[in-house]
Amino acid sequence: MTDKKSKKGRLLIIAGTVLLLAALSLVLWNNHRQQASSKEMNSILSSLRLQMPQSDESSKSEDNHKDDFGSVGFEGESIGGSSDNYGDSSQTEETYIEVEQKRYIGILQIPSLNLELPIMADYSYDELYNSPCRYSGSVATSDIIIAAHNYRYFFGPIDNLNSGDKLIFTSADGQIYSYSVVQSELIDGDDANSLRANSDDWDMTLFTCTWSGTSRLVVRAQLDVQ
């Protein structure tokens, strides 16, 4: 009887050790992935800065910014991963900057979080490891949605944003758009409709997954009127 208990105890210790090692390996891998992604993103950001024209001194207001770009339709994906078409299917002119044969529409700054991020023009889950991506919409149509992983150098800290915090978007042609955060919410991971709901009430949306992966943290912002 004692030998059986001793054997069972040893098995439990071994199983616990294996689980701890697996958890540690996952933490180390995630940390390595975040560091590699941050390095790639900073390289992209440096290239964008070099190619971007001098920014305007004043921010664009809601009244005049829609004349600067046409909207661009592009192939996006729903939160759940299936393909869907968002935006205007009739593509009109929009300014891009190419870095390593990929298109970027500008740079997003979040001063309160000390973040500066390149924004890829087209959504791709694989590319999210290197840069936040435009999920749908545009600054021109006041409905841009930007997705990013919850890495600490990407959108991981956006749960710390408060109402009134600024989001500064500098477009590829050097125009500056200033937004103010109005609200944050959690939505189900497969709820694409809620992500795009009430678009008349906001002009920019940022979203990322929670650590559980079952929900999405969504931050809404309105364009500052000059």
Residue indicated by tokens 């109005």: 182
112 close to 92: Cβ distance less than 8 angstroms = no
Residue 201 reports pLDDT greater than 50: yes
Q: Is residue 76 part of a domain?
A: yes
Alpha-carbon torsion (13, 19, 22, 26), positive or negative: negative
Residue 134 reports pLDDT greater than 80: yes
Q: How far is CA 89 from CA 115, 122, 125, 138, 220, in A?
A: 32, 14, 21, 13, 24
The whole-number pLDDT of residue 2 equals 61
Q: Is residue 39 part of a domain?
A: no
Q: Is residue 41 part of a domain?
A: no
pLDDT band at 82 (very low <50, low <70, confident <90, very high): very low
- Paired with 102 in beta bridges are 99
**Greater model confidence, 126 or 177:** 177
Q: Is residue 33 part of a domain?
A: no
- The mean pLDDT of 139-147, rounded to a whole number, is 94
pTM of the model: 0.72
Q: Is residue 184 part of a domain?
A: yes
d(CA 191, CA 217): 12
Q: Is residue 167 part of a domain?
A: yes
72 in helix, strand or coil? coil
What pLDDT, in 10s, does the model give residues 150-176?
988 999 999 999 999 999 999 999 999
What pLDDT, in 10s, does the model give residues 34-58?
566 778 888 898 989 898 887 544 4
The whole-number pLDDT of residue 121 equals 96
**DSSP state, residue 183:** E
What domain range includes position 114?
Answer: 49-223
Q: Is residue 90 part of a domain?
A: yes
- Domain at 105, CATH number: 2.40.260.10
d(CA 139, CA 153): 23
Domain count across the chain: 1
Per DSSP (E only), the strands in the chain are 59-60, 74-77, 83-86, 97-99, 102-110, 115-120, 133-136, 144-147, 166-171, 176-188, 204-209, 215-223
Residue 80 reports pLDDT greater than 60: no
Q: Is residue 134 part of a domain?
A: yes
